[in-house]
Amino acid sequence: MSEHHDHHQDDTPHASFSGYMIGFLLSVFLTAIPFWLVMGGVFESKGTTAVIILAFAAVQVVVHMIYFLHMNFHSEGGWNMLSLLFTAVLLFITLFGSLWVMYNMNVLMMPGMM
């Protein structure tokens, strides 16, 4: 399949039509369902809907990483993945740390405003 490759293309990951199409179709489903859940008011409970659409978003991020950004454990000898995981850890700490700390500050120190 890669006979027509000349040498200077070897440093970029090889993309394929089927890979992009799989990623695209998965993304369409993973985008359409959360919009439908919210716009159609499918579930009574807002908490349930929120958990489900967050899960869909997380899966879609992984789909984009694999099929569009060609992420794997081999590229750059694993450094791509390592830096991504490091970023994900920082992202988690920043997001959930901020929300957790600030929520408790509000509850404990300004009970009248909640």
Partner 1 sequence: MSQSVAANTNLNFIARDHHAPNGTLFGFWLYLMSDCLIFAALFATYGVLSQSYAGGPTGAELFDLPLVALNTAFLLFSSITYGFAMLQMQQGKRQGTMIWLAITGLLGAAFLAVELYEFSHLLHVGAGPQRSAYWSAFFTLVGTHGLHVTIGLIWLVTLLVQLKKHGLIPENRRRLFCLSMFWHFLDVIWIGVFTFVYLMGSMA
Interface positions with partner 1 (CB under 8 A): 4, 8-12, 14-17, 20-21, 23-24, 27-28, 31, 34-35, 38-39, 46, 49-50, 53-54, 56-57, 60-61, 64-65, 68-69, 75-76, 79-80, 83-84, 86-87, 90-91, 94-95, 97-99, 102
Look at the block and give the residue holding tokens 């994900």: 88
Distance CA 61, CA 55 (A): 10
Q: Give the integer Cα–Cα distance in Å for 18 and 28.
A: 15
**Min dist. Cβ of residue 108 to partner 1 (A):** 15
Q: How far is the CB of 39 from partner 1 (least distance, A)?
A: 5
d(CA 24, CA 3): 27
Distance (Å, whole) CA 9 – CA 1: 14
Is 4 or 111 the residue whose CB approaches partner 1 more closely? Answer: 4
CB atoms within 10 A of CB 43: 14
**Least distance (Å) between residue 64 CB and partner 1:** 5
